[in-house]
Amino acid sequence: MGYGFISEGETLAFIVSAVFGSSISFFSGLVLLFLIFYYRKHRLSYWRLILGFGIVGILQDVCYFSGAVLIYSEKQDTSYGNFFCKTQGFALQIAGGTSAMYSIMICLHIYFIIVQKWVTIPKKLEIASHLLCWLVGVIVAIIPLSGMLPGVTYGSSFAWCWIASDPKYARFLLFYGWVWFVIVIIIFVYF
């Protein structure tokens, strides 16, 4: 089962790496969640942001793991009309957008506590932070399903399903653009 541009052995190596990496990340995320609750850190606002970030990471790991395993077992049809493929792409896009927003919120939280000398973040602001993170993730994930951008949909991305590679601007606009936005915001806040 090669993919035209790489051999069967390279395909297997890539998929094993994806499964191994996402498995380690998944179990690390579970350990993080366990420790947050075991040591009762969820009572502190900044730990709740890390908790939200951890939950998003676990969602992302499940998607990567399931996609790689199902493609390798050749049980997944990665065509554009496949329900599982679109669901996996949608979930990965939610996780990607939400994860980027949590990075910004954690950065701002650190800024307010260390630089502005806030003792804690007001509860309403914390709730708004969580809602904004998930709202941005969901909005960015809905765009390929909505038809707002012509030709942009979820489809095969080699070892899992995500934003289809055509049109070329889609992944940049809906994911990599957000990542660079986050990098610029974090650099601006820290400097």
Give pLDDT tens digits for 135-152: 999 999 999 989 888 889
Residues 28 and 16: their CA atoms lie apart, in Å, by: 18
Q: Which residue in the block uniquely carries the two structure tokens 């650099």?
A: 187
Categorise residue 52: left if φ over 0, alpha if ψ from -120 to 50, beta otherwise. Answer: alpha
Q: Is 77 helix (H, G, I), strand (E, B) or coil?
A: coil
The confidence band for 2, taking pLDDT boundaries of 50, 70 and 90, is very low
Q: How many other CB atoms are found less than 10 A from the CB of residue 189?
A: 14
Q: What percentage of the chain reaches a pLDDT higher than 70?
A: 89
The partner residues of 163 in beta bridges, in order of sequence, read: 154
178 contacts: CB under 8 Å, gap ≥ 6: 96, 97, 100, 140
Q: What's the confidence (pLDDT) of residue 27?
A: 96
Amino acid at 189: V
The mean of the pLDDT values for the chain is 87
In this prediction the pTM is 0.86
